[in-house]
């Protein structure tokens, strides 16, 4: 698309296919999508594409006789310089095509292979926190750092959906198959997407459909009142049930392959079943029943906590909330209700333990929610590749042998980091988070570093691989070093969440405290003397987190309040660790910037300039973080830096 960054699908990646002869067998919308790709590639590079049997280098075949249930998988075979992709479902063919694109020349050359690929997770979804009308505080995209919305502009659906099609193509190429098109905080204009404005959603769904992506909608639990004029939204009220059934029937008429609803209820001021003395299972099952005849799913978010906390009250712990609210309801959710759980117990901090809810509800389908949009990880002004963090989360085993990636039976979801910015994600290197999410959702145990290399190779070409990898691979840990230490979290500016403010939330109602005083820092979440949160884990992890001696360093302040002189497993005291990591973090940013500068001439100049500009801000901000955090702890503790560096 003109004027828009090609991201990981620059023309060149289609050369190996575009110079060859392809035979494409099968029919239907997605086969036509693949055909369109092949025609474009061959027009550019001189190859040929035929839909009839004949000689070929690449055979793409939709064959529903070979494994009728396997709609998304495909078999890829290579030998004698030729390749074959066979799929029993159209999505599988689309994914098989992009698999061949990713392989490049290797798709045809090299040792003979025959492999079957299929996604480990059925639902691989992006949630857009996009508002239809510009919100006075949150703007067009809540927590969006890449311009406006791809879908909505100033109260209306965009008329030109070419950009949405280009987006759908990028998503399909990394395996995403579902998109929720509006914010989980459903305001007035957005509520109406469910009813009289459903045609606008249908237009988006029409574009996404061609890329194998189903469209989902965030709805307000109060819809029967605000849209239907009923006196109640009580989930057990027969009239309310009829209202949802009728509304959902109309949605389905407009969008036959509608994916379902996303609901944020009784959370940060959104309406929910608590108002009627009903449970969250009652609430979710109401919508599940309405969606059931059409094969839709309700994604019910577990982000329920008290945001009117009193900091003087040491018995309430926000980290406990999701587990306390939802585990008693295990087994009560309908089969097409999915409980969508944030990966950590708080809110997408740079370091959190895995939510103890994951693995604790065996009778409930859970989806795990990640945040691609970098709300707390540098807001797409800082380079922060989240692959290693997500990979750690997905490989974490609440019980031995059951990693999170397998427990997420209801899907993997990420909050999108995309907007109408020409680079899609503001920071061009943040595109890697989108790509990595798609690839990890396909295979949660995939090697994140391999995915990064794949992304760099496609986006920048082989010459840039080592340089870009050096800039990105460690960027999450670097970010962690210069921000909130040892798992304690937050310490951000309230409201917008960018930049340091150690006590910004310390006496606020949001429940995100660090309890630093002159003697020590951290939150005692042990069973023995703290909030008891550590006891929400199964035996294995409950024991690990319970004591200072066994708790891993990187989560120490999440679970324990310790003196500044406490010696970590690394051999350093807590306060010296804080000083050292903050100096190191800034040095690492400076080094990454230097490495980026060295890539001038190897990387496309416009992209290079955008990243270089962001690095200026990252370095400024990292210094600010370093100085504020170090000064804060120096002044609190009075302990000087062992190395005598400047602490203000």
Binding positions for ligand GCU, rule: CB under 6 A: 142-143, 184-185, 264, 268, 303, 347, 375
Q: Is 347 a catalytic residue?
A: yes
Strands 21-25, 48-50: pairing kind? parallel
Catalytic residue among 190, 347, 421, 454: 347
From start to end of 67-127, where are the E strands? Answer: 74-79, 82-87, 113-117, 124-127
Q: Is 105 a catalytic residue?
A: no
Instruction: Kindly tell me which of 143 and 561 has the beta carbon lying closer to ligand GCU.
Output: 143
**Burial label, 324 (beta-carbon count in 10 A; 0-12, 13-18, 19+):** middle
- Is the separation of the CB atoms in 615 and 382 below 8 Å? no
Instruction: Kindly tell me which of 112 and 269 has the beta carbon lying closer to ligand GCU.
Output: 269
Structure token pair of residue 465: 């691989």
Write 618-623 long-range contacts (CB < 8 A, 24+).
618/378, 618/381, 618/382, 618/383, 618/589, 618/593, 619/586, 619/589, 619/590, 619/593, 621/378, 621/381, 621/382, 621/498, 621/499, 622/382, 622/482, 622/585, 622/586, 622/589, 623/586
CA 47 to chain centre: 37
Q: How far is the CB of 179 from ligand GCU (least distance, A)?
A: 17
Q: Is 375 a catalytic residue?
A: yes
Question: What is 370-439 written as a DSSP string?
Answer: EE-S-TTTTTTTS----HHHHHHHHH--SBTTB-HHHH-TTEEEEE----SSTTSSSSGGGHHHHHHHHH
Q: How far is the CB of 437 from ligand GCU (least distance, A)?
A: 16
Closest CA to 151 of 221, 207, 196: 207
Q: How far is the CB of 300 from ligand GCU (least distance, A)?
A: 12
517-549: buried (b, 16+ CB within 10 Å) or exposed (e) per residue? eeebbbbbbbeeebbbbbbbbeeebbebbbeee
Structure token pair of residue 109: 């050359």
Instruction: Report which secondary-structure segment, H or E, holds 140.
Output: strand 139-141
Whole-angstrom CA distances from 622 to 412, 429, 467, 482, 569 are 31, 18, 22, 6, 26
Query: What 3-state DSSP class applies to 298?
Result: strand
- Is the separation of the CB atoms in 504 and 511 below 8 Å? no
Q: How far is the CB of 264 from ligand GCU (least distance, A)?
A: 5
Query: What 3-state DSSP class applies to 217?
Result: strand
- Is the separation of the CB atoms in 512 and 268 below 8 Å? no
CA distance 62 to 94: 10
Q: How far is the CB of 317 from ligand GCU (least distance, A)?
A: 17
Instruction: Kindly tell me which of 127 and 588 has the beta carbon lying closer to ligand GCU.
Output: 127
Instruction: Kindly tell me which of 73 and 410 has the beta carbon lying closer to ligand GCU.
Output: 410
Instruction: Kindly tell me which of 234 and 375 has the beta carbon lying closer to ligand GCU.
Output: 375
Instruction: Kindly tell me which of 21 and 135 has the beta carbon lying closer to ligand GCU.
Output: 135
Q: How far is the CB of 529 from ligand GCU (least distance, A)?
A: 29
Instruction: Kindly tell me which of 138 and 275 has the beta carbon lying closer to ligand GCU.
Output: 138
Q: How far is the CB of 150 from ligand GCU (least distance, A)?
A: 19
Catalytic residue among 106, 268, 310, 447: 268
Structure token pair of residue 441: 């959702």
CA distance 98 to 175: 9
Q: How far is the CB of 102 from ligand GCU (least distance, A)?
A: 32
Catalytic residue among 142, 375, 454, 588: 375
Q: Which residue has the tokens 């109408």?
A: 420
Q: How far is the CB of 510 from ligand GCU (least distance, A)?
A: 9
Three state DSSP letters for 351-366? CCCCCCCCCCCCCCEE
List residues with catalytic annotation. Answer: 268, 347, 375
């Amino acid at each position: 698309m003109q004027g828009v960054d090609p991201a990981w699908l620059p023309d060149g990646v289609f050369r190996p296919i575009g110079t060859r002869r392809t035979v494409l067998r099968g029919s239907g919308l997605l086969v036509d999508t693949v055909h369109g790709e092949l025609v474009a590639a061959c027009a550019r590079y001189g190859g040929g594409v035929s839909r009839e049997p004949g000689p070929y280098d690449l055979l793409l075949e939709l064959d529903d006789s070979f494994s009728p249930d396997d709609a998304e998988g495909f078999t890829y075979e290579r030998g004698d310089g030729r390749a074959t992709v066979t799929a029993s479902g159209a999505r599988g063919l689309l994914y098989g095509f992009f698999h061949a694109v990713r392989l490049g020349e290797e798709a045809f050359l090299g040792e003979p292979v025959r492999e079957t690929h299929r996604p480990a997770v059925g639902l691989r979804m992006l949630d857009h926190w996009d508002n239809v009308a510009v919100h006075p505080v949150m703007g067009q995209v809540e927590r969006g750092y890449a311009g406006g919305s791809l879908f909505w502009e100033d109260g209306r659906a965009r008329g030109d959906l070419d950009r949405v099609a280009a987006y759908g193509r990028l998503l399909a190429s990394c395996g995403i198959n579902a998109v929720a098109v509006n914010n989980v905080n459903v305001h007035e204009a957005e509520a109406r997407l469910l009813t009289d404005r459903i045609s606008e959603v249908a237009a988006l769904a029409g574009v996404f459909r061609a890329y194998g992506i189903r469209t989902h909608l965030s709805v307000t639990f109060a819809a029967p009142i605000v849209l239907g004029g009923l006196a109640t939204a009580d989930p057990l009220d027969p009239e309310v049930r009829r209202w949802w059934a009728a509304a959902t029937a109309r949605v389905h008429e407009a969008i036959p392959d509608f994916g379902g609803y996303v609901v944020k209820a009784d959370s940060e001021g959104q309406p929910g079943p608590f108002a009627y003395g009903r449970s969250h299972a009652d609430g979710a099952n109401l919508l599940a029943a309405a969606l059931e005849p059409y094969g839709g799913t309700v994604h019910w978010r577990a982000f329920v906590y008290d945001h009117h906390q009193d900091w003087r009250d040491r018995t309430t712990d926000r980290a406990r909330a999701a587990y306390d609210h939802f585990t008693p309801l295990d087994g009560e959710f309908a089969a097409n209700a999915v409980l969508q759980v944030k990966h950590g117990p708080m809110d997408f901090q740079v370091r959190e333990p895995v939510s103890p809810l994951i693995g604790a509800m065996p009778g409930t389908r859970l989806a795990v929610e990640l945040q691609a949009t970098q709300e707390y990880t540098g807001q797409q002004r800082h380079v922060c590749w989240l692959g290693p963090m997500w990979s750690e989360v997905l490989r974490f085993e609440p019980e031995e042998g059951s990693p999170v990636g397998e427990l997420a039976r209801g899907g993997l979801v990420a909050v999108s980091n995309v907007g109408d910015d020409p680079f899609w994600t503001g920071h061009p290197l943040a595109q890697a988070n989108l790509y990595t999410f798609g690839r990890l959702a396909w295979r949660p145990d995939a090697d994140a570093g391999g995915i990064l290399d794949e992304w760099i190779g496609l986006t920048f070409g082989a010459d840039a691989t080592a340089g870009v990898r050096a800039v990105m691979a460690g960027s999450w840990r670097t970010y962690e070093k210069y921000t909130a230490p040892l798992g304690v979290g937050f310490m951000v500016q309230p409201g917008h969440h960018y930049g340091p403010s150690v006590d910004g939330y310390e006496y606020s109602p949001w429940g995100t405290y660090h309890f630093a005083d002159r003697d020590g820092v951290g939150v005692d979440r042990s069973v023995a003397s703290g909030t008891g949160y550590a006891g929400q884990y199964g035996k294995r992890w409950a024991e690990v987190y319970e004591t200072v001696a066994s708790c891993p360093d990187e989560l120490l302040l999440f679970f324990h309040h310790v003196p500044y002189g406490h010696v970590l497993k690394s051999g350093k005291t807590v306060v010296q660790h804080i000083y050292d990591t903050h100096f190191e973090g800034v040095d690492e940013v400076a080094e990454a910037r230097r490495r980026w500068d060295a890539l001038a001439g190897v990387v496309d100049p416009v992209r290079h300039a955008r990243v270089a500009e962001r690095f200026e801000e990252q370095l400024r901000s990292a210094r600010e973080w370093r100085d504020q955090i170090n000064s804060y702890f120096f002044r609190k503790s009075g302990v000087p830096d062992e190395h005598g560096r400047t602490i203000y």
